[in-house]
Chains A and B, each alone.
Chain A
Amino acid sequence: MLSRRAVLGAGAGLLSSTVVLAQPFAGIYEPRADVVADGIWLVRGADEPITFANGGAIANTIIIATDDGPVLFDAGISLAHGQSLAALALKLTGKPVTRVILSHLHPDHAMGAAAFDARLVHALPSTHADLERDAEGFSDAMYRLLSGWMKGTAIVLPQADMADGPLIIGGRSLQVFALQGHSAGDLALLDEATGTLITGDLVFHNRAPATPHANLAQWQAALDQLEAISHRLLLPGHGPLDRTGFAISQTRDWLGWLDASVHQSVASGLDMTEAGEVAIPDRFNGLKSARYELQRSVSHFFPAIESEWLPKTAP
């Protein structure tokens, strides 16, 4: 009898002759910055899932000029990505990066810290703890998805020293908000001079929110807090900038609909695949990756809601 391994070995030979399995080479990150306020640049990520084609460059990064050098808000996904962002910040400001602030744990925002001295990288204590727990798993997952793009990307844990309150860097007055909901630690930043509110992944704009570590009630509360902060311009974690307040209400609307939809699916006897196939309301037509994120969110929330909602039964 053939063993499974022997069959796999034989099959591999067959496969290579019938299917083109070219191993593609990673490309080069070429981030572009748009000036959005005095001394503030937005580097847009692709409004897509993480794929080999986009090198995982899907999150927004913000560059803030100070007298000490630029501050980088979120570092990209890999060593090469972080390096390309550092080079861009140097080109724009004439100075090397003085500080990297990580908004939260997710790899598209945090793993580019590999390009920097750990002493420059700062985050909330909860984000440090999240990364201590999950960074190795993220690293495995990102190397699997992105292979060559991740070359040389080591885990750099941030200093766990960011906290709510004022922060002055190189003469620039900032305000730090320690929030949670998208993850256990979500850092938002206000630049006082320009009224620019930098939200990390607490706000998505025209791109469906991702929920792998979300607490929806806390997230809604965080959106209320952000809305109460006077600002002129909002830079979200994913999607274009917003000057109208729409991005906060859109994120709130999606999260509310998502929660109700998954509950409704459980209550009406659907299983997870069906819950991921329900109609998405027309008002979310402008959200990129909506079906993809709905199905991910079903995976995140459905089993727990089901175990609460389905009645216990006895013989």
Chain B
Amino acid sequence: MFLKLAAVIALATPSVALATPPAAKGLPADPLESPMWQFQAERLFGTSPVVFDRAVHVLVPEIAENQRVFPVTVDARALPDVQRIVIFADLNPIPIAIDYATGTAAPFVATRIKLDQRTPVRAAVLTRDGVWHVAGNWIDAAGGGCSAPPLSRVKGDWADHLGEARAGAWPEAAGQTRLRMTFRHPMDTGLVENIAAYNIERLTIRAADGTLLGDMQINGSVAEDPAFTVVVHHEGGPISFVATDSAGLRFAGAIAPEPSPFASANP
């Protein structure tokens, strides 16, 4: 009887219908049966409720062609009131790649991470009600994404281009701008002999009046020469962004998006 009632309630709200109901106590069983699920989940979520939720779309390629540069896109636009998106890989020595406080931005982010071995790659999305919505899959990868030196260290030219920023902006929907930013940076993990950890730690995006449009914490498991795609809420005018790294250097950029073609159609 209780089960039937629960099913009816779940069907009434589409985003919940896809979700496993949160366990009253403890973590839900991991559908991926990862040996590190319990450990990572306790660290990340504490006592907050956790659900596995197909409303969180984690887009990855069929194959990890390059374990140093594995693209991950997370689209949680099917969920209301998203506050944070965390991308993590259970079996990476640096499990969390990014922790994105979405603020007014759309719950969408794309970046590229390193894979140190076959591992689950997941997104955890926090909604305002305090529930973490988790999705992901096992990715088969050759070893060494985190423990091999970056190509620019091997080539020796990393310092010549350090912090070079590139950016593009595209209208996404009414009042929304898709922003892509790339930086030249070795993103050293600290796991390679004689190369200390050195990575971009934070990326903030602001409107011309200083309003915060997006704020991301970044770890060394993000790929060398990192790239980030976000969809910010933006009513026009230039957008600026600043990345800071673990040595305190600041890499800033600005872009003036074209006026959105959606603006007049949907005021």
> Hey, which bits of chain A sit against chain B, CB under 8 A?
2, 4, 7-8, 10-12, 14-15, 18-19, 49, 140-141, 144, 212, 268-269, 271-274, 276-277, 291-292, 295-296, 298-300, 303, 306-307, 310-315
Contact = CB atoms under 8 A, between A and B. Distances in A.
Main SS at interface, chain A: helix
Interface in B70-88: 71-73
Given A269-B178, A272-B71, A315-B240, A19 B63 contact: no
A106 B191 CA distance: 30
Nearest to B111: A271
Nearest to A9: B35
A307 B182 contact: yes
Contacts, number: 110
A310 B167 contact: yes
A245 B225 CA distance: 42
A132 to B, nearest CB: 17
Interface of B: 33-36, 38-39, 59-63, 65-66, 69, 71-73, 91, 93, 110-112, 142, 164-170, 178, 180, 182, 225, 227, 229, 240, 242, 252-255
Given A8-B35, A11-B35, A313-B165, A298 B253 contact: no
Contact of B165 (A12, A269, A292, A312): A312
B35 A7 contact: yes
A273 B254 contact: no
Contacts of B255: 313
Main SS at interface, chain B: strand
Given A269-B180, A303-B69, A315 B170 contact: no
B35 A272 contact: no
Given A2-B39, A312-B166, A315-B240, A306 B182 contact: yes
Contacts of B62: 291-292, 295
Contact of A276 (B61, B93, B253): B61
Contact of A299 (B61, B164, B169, B178): B61
A7 B63 contact: no
Contacts of B69: 299, 303
A310 B61 contact: no
Nearest to B118: A144
B227 A306 contact: yes
B65 A300 contact: yes
